[in-house]
Amino acid sequence: MSGSPVESGVKVARSPSGLTQSLVDLATGSQDWPPSVMVVSRQCLLDWIGVTIAGATDRAIDHIVDEALDRGSSGRSTLIGRSERLSLLDAALANGVAGHILDYDDAHQAIRGHGTAPIMPAVLAAAEAMELTVGESLAAFACGYEACARMGLMLGPAHYVRGFHTTATAGIFGAVVATARLIGLDAEQTRHALGIAGTMSSGLVANFGSMCKALHAGRAASSGLRAARLAARGFTSSHDAIEAGNGFINAVGGERRDELALKPPPSDHHLPDTLFKMHASCYGTHSAIIAAITARRRGVTPDKIVTIDVWVQPGAEQACSISSPTTGLQAKFSLSYLVAMALCGLNTSDPESFPDTLPDRPEVTALAARVSLHYPPDMAGMSARISLGLSDGSVVEESADAGKPERDLAEQQDRLESKFRSLVESRLGSGKSTRILDIVNAPEKCPAADLLETCRR
């Protein structure tokens, strides 16, 4: 690519540094990932396939697929958990929405959102089209995940508080870096792809509890892949569209935390700090759910509970404080309702507990009305504490912290395989489930197309 792109008569910067350059290096440099990174990459893939297959027949995906078909979308790209095939970009969109619609996919504190959901659909769509292997896909995915985490750290809490959904706004950059690596973009092309992504990035916290939240992940995947493909064709952007004074970070209220974003985490890489969900709801609710389940196991039953106080991190007030949910999607973002579900013994790990229209659950509704939520500014990380005032005058207190990454990767593998089978066997059968597990656990030489074909209905 030659020449200096010019926009409105202003010459574009030629030598960006800092975050932009670090993302370019991830996409184009030599990467030697330690075993822990690749193990967690495989776990991300396994978990994402499971929740995507389980979410693939949701009404939201029907709408996405029907709209694409009405538009004339056609192609050979696979839709996970479905029979249709669509164009490359439409498949990335549909699979991205399916992977996030249950809100059961992995999360990461650096991102302040979800990493796999916006990256994996783009990676697998590109790998299928290019006849690459699952192993090659995962190596690129690892680069994209690291990029997404760095962008999340750079943007910081202020970006989220402003109303932006980081899964979408940081996720698109992860999708760009991963697909740029797969496609083989050079450094110049990758800078353009990142600038294109900045222009295409979007996602609003205000849409939590609706289908749009999952659309954020799908759109980030599809747009990230499109940005890389456009750059490969010679489409240009400003080289410093991310960090310029009027660039992406400043425009969306980011904090420009360069040192934090570029400093390696204690484990040297971000992927091992991935948090995998065991409850099908917003991750900000998990600690409170776990504390409530522990209280119930101590013998506390709903008929004994008079008052319920819950203390959680301040960010939960914005993300998961829907007070009177009427749909399953809304319930996933209602701390009071979820705590009541757990205290009543309902299974928050089962997506079927969150139907489109919530059934009449008088016991849950009555308990949820007694919940008082508190958001102390000094609440650590993702921890939560609950205090239950009982009818005999006693008080039961429990606390939990779901924000600590698992370091025993073998233990984590066992939990994820169990979760995977619970989501997939009833939909695709035990034979296909086992075949998917075998491929993900030994992905190096298996074509991505073969894995995706196994994931079809």
List pLDDT tens digits, range 235-267: 999 999 999 999 999 999 888 888 889 998 888
Supply the pLDDT for residue 101.
98
Supply the pLDDT for residue 452.
98
Supply the pLDDT for residue 259.
85
Supply the pLDDT for residue 12.
34
Q: Are 63 and 211 in contact (CB under 8 A)?
A: yes
Give Cα separations from 254 to 148, 164, 373, 414 (angstroms): 14, 10, 28, 38
3-state secondary structure the chain: CCCCCEECCEECCCCCCCHHHHHHHHHHCCCCCCHHHHHHHHHHHHHHHHHHHHHCCCHHHHHHHHHHHHCCCCCCEECCCCCCEECHHHHHHHHHHHHHCCCCCCEECCCCECCHHHHHHHHHHHHHHHCCEHHHHHHHHHHHHHHHHHHHHHHHHHHHHCCECHHHHCHHHHHHHHHHHHHCCCHHHHHHHHHHHHHHCCCEHHHCCCHHHHHHHHHHHHHHHHHHHHHHCCCCCCCCCCCCCCCHHHHCCCCCCHHHHHCCCCCCCCHHHCECCCCCCCHHHHHHHHHHHHHHHCCCCHHHEEEEEEEECCHHHHHCECCCCCEHHHHCCEHHHHHHHHHCCCCCCCHHHCCCECCCCHHHHHHHCCEEEECCCCCCCCEEEEEEEECCCCEEEEEEECCCCCCCHHHHHHHHHHHHHHHHHHHHCHHHHHHHHHHHHCCCCCEHHHHHHHCCC
Q: Is the pLDDT of residue 7 over 50?
A: no
List pLDDT tens digits, range 70-83: 999 999 999 999 99
Give Cα separations from 227 to 14, 219, 234, 298, 346 (angstroms): 19, 12, 11, 53, 43
Report the alpha-carbon distance of residue 355 to residue 380 in Å, rounded: 32
Q: Is the pLDDT of residue 65 over 80?
A: yes
Residue type for 446, please? C
The arithmetic mean of pLDDT across residues 85-92, rounded, is 98
Q: Is the pLDDT of residue 295 over 90?
A: yes
Tell me the pLDDT band of 386, cut-offs 50, 70 and 90: very high
Supply the pLDDT for residue 17.
52
300 vs 315 pLDDT, higher one: 300
The arithmetic mean of pLDDT across residues 5-33, rounded, is 68
Q: Are 437 and 45 in contact (CB under 8 A)?
A: no
List pLDDT tens digits, range 126-153: 999 999 999 999 999 999 999 999 999 9
Supply the pLDDT for residue 4.
33
The arithmetic mean of pLDDT across residues 338-345, rounded, is 98
List pLDDT tens digits, range 155-195: 999 999 999 999 999 999 999 999 999 999 999 999 999 99
In this predicted structure, which of 79-83, 220-224, 238-242, 277-281 has the lowest mean pLDDT? 238-242
Q: Is the pLDDT of residue 309 over 80?
A: yes
Tell me the pLDDT band of 431, cut-offs 50, 70 and 90: very high
Q: Is the pLDDT of residue 32 over 60?
A: yes
- pTM value? 0.93
Tell me the pLDDT band of 405, cut-offs 50, 70 and 90: very high
**Domains in the chain, CATH or no CATH each:** 6-276+428-454 (1.10.4100.10), 283-401 (3.30.1330.120)
Report the alpha-carbon distance of residue 237 to residue 228 in Å, rounded: 12
Give Cα separations from 134 to 217, 428, 438 (angstroms): 21, 20, 12
Supply the pLDDT for residue 257.
86
Q: Is the pLDDT of residue 308 over 90?
A: yes
Tell me the pLDDT band of 5, cut-offs 50, 70 and 90: very low
5 vs 105 pLDDT, higher one: 105
Average pLDDT score, the chain: 94
Give Cα separations from 29 to 82, 180, 185, 270, 377 (angstroms): 36, 11, 11, 18, 41
Tell me the pLDDT band of 380, cut-offs 50, 70 and 90: confident
Supply the pLDDT for residue 9.
33
Q: Is the pLDDT of residue 6 over 50?
A: no
